[in-house]
Copies of this chain bind each other. A is one copy, B any other.
């Protein structure tokens, strides 16, 4: 099996190197990842700037390529320009911070796996639900096991797996649950400041509020110390409302 690894935090971060060590045990691994952090880029692709690709070695070993683009760019350029043959799987992560509920749509980590899926390659996004004191070892091990199971069972066309792992010791994890995407809202705060030249500017920030505490939702599963695996697709049609909408008369 040949597996392409990428992420949105950049090619040199611990989440990716730990993932690589684990996935190497089951597959030939190639890394194509952003040069720099690309968090909250959503599904951006780079059309108006040139993309550059740099070969990356670590301790004398060739590990892959750094790209001055987004996670989606990395997967596209890997499959269409860098690699001779498409990989058997794309794994994106391990992200520092959960990608659950509504914030999935802002996620560069998930967008890389989505891009793999669009290209017809079974894909997994994996994130660790913490921003501080991360321990990627359980998540890296789980990614390996899930990759094997996914390779065995296959995924439907157009569907990827979005995995979130709680940041607790492996013996504290209560199990694995297959979930739906929960509901949440970002409570935005714009911090208004004046720069040294007297001009106004804003820092965007805030806090994510989660509304699904049941463990059948991704956010609830994490809260219950369980690993969450959510099947995600990119048919955004609200099929239920479509039937009602067909009765609208537009004057």
Question: Which of B118, B145, B238, B239 is close to A185, meaning CB atoms less than 8 Å apart?
Answer: B118
Question: Which of B81, B186, B200, B237 is close to A230, meaning CB atoms less than 8 Å apart?
Answer: B237
**Are the CB atoms of B202 and A250 closer together than 8 Å?**
no
**Are the CB atoms of A251 and B105 closer together than 8 Å?**
no
CA distance A104 to B114 in the complex (A): 13
* A179 shortest CB reach to chain B, Å: 8
Q: Which residues on the B side are within 8 Å of A185 (C-beta)?
A: 118
Interface string of A92-136 (1 = CB under 8 A from B): 000000000010111000010010001000000000000000000
Residue A10 lies at the interface, judged by CB distance under 8 Å to chain B = no
**Are the CB atoms of A50 and B241 closer together than 8 Å?**
no
**Are the CB atoms of A204 and B47 closer together than 8 Å?**
yes
**Are the CB atoms of B238 and A233 closer together than 8 Å?**
yes
By a beta-carbon cutoff of 8 Å, the part of chain A in contact with chain B is: 37, 39-48, 50-53, 72-73, 76-77, 79-81, 102, 104-106, 111, 114, 118, 142, 145-146, 148-149, 153, 155-156, 158-159, 176, 178-181, 183, 185-186, 188-190, 192-193, 195, 199-205, 229-239, 241-242, 245-246, 248-251
